[in-house]
Structure 1
Amino acid sequence: MALSDPRRTVGGMCRSIRTLRPPYAEIVTQDDMRAAALQYVRKISGFRQPAPHNAAAFDKAVETIAAATEELLSTLEVKGRVG
C-alpha cells in the first residue's frame, strides 16, 4: 500500500501509531510520558523540530499532553492483573 493510500490514513493522519509500552507497566516514568507526548506532537504537527517562532507552542503542547497522560495512567484500573 502506498503512503498516500486512503486506507492507511484517518482524516489525513497516518494510522501507524506505535505503542510505546506494554498494555500494563508497573512503572511509567516522567521521561516515558514526555517521550510519548513528544511523539504525538511531532506526528500531529508534522514537524520533528518546530521553527523558533513555534517552539513555545510546541513545548507547551508536549507538557500539556504529558500531564494528561500522567492523569490518564493514574486513573486507569487494570482488572485481572496478577501481581
Structure 2
Amino acid sequence: MCRSIKTLRPPVTPEAGPEDFHAAALQYVRKISGFRAPSARNKEAFDAAVDAVTEATRRLLAEIEVRPAPARSTAPEHEHTQDHEHTQDHEHEHAHPHEHAASEVGQPV
C-alpha cells in the first residue's frame, strides 16, 4: 500500500522540495488512515491532513540544525617508507607455509 518514506533532510537528500514534502505527507496519511484514496465523505479530512503534514514537514526541515558529518580518518601513511630501502634482511620474500617451521621450534619435520 505504501512505499517507504525516504529521509528528506540534508545531506541525505540535499535537494528536497515542496513536491517531496507533499509526497511524504501523502504516504504518511495513506498509511495511518488505511486509505489509498479517501471516499467522498472523507476527502476533506484526508486532504487537510496531507496539507498539515506537508507544512509540518517543511517547517521541521527548515528549523532543524544538522551538524556536518565528521571527516573519515584514515591511517596516516609514513612518508619515510617510500623514501628508502629497508635495511633489515628478510629470510623470505614470499608468503607461504614453510615446511621447516616445525623444526625451528624443536619439532621434527
Task: Give the structure-1-normalised TM-score.
Answer: 0.70
CA distance in 2, matches of 1:19, 1:45: 15
Give 3-state SS (helix, strand or coil) of 2:56's partner.
helix
User: Who is 1:18 aligned against?
Assistant: 4
Q: Which has the higher strand share?
A: 1
1:40 aligns with 2:31: no
RMSD, matched Cα: 2.0
Distance 1:21 1:67, change over 3 A: same
Question: What 5-or-longer segments of structure 1 have no aligned partner?
Answer: 1-16
The answer to whether the Cα contact below 8 Å between 2:5 and 2:27 also exists between their aligned partners in 1 is: no
CA distance in 1, matches of 2:18, 2:8: 16
- Highest relative contact order (Cα 8 Å, sep 6+), 1 or 2? 1
Q: Which has the higher helix share?
A: 1
Runs (4+) off by over 6 Å? none
Distance 1:33 1:23, change over 3 A: closer
Q: Which has the larger radius of gyration?
A: 2
Shift of 1:78: 1.2
Distance 1:73 1:18, change over 3 A: same
Shift of 1:66: 0.1
CA distance in 2, matches of 1:63, 1:22: 17
Percent of aligned pairs with the same amino acid: 42
1:49 aligns with 2:34: no
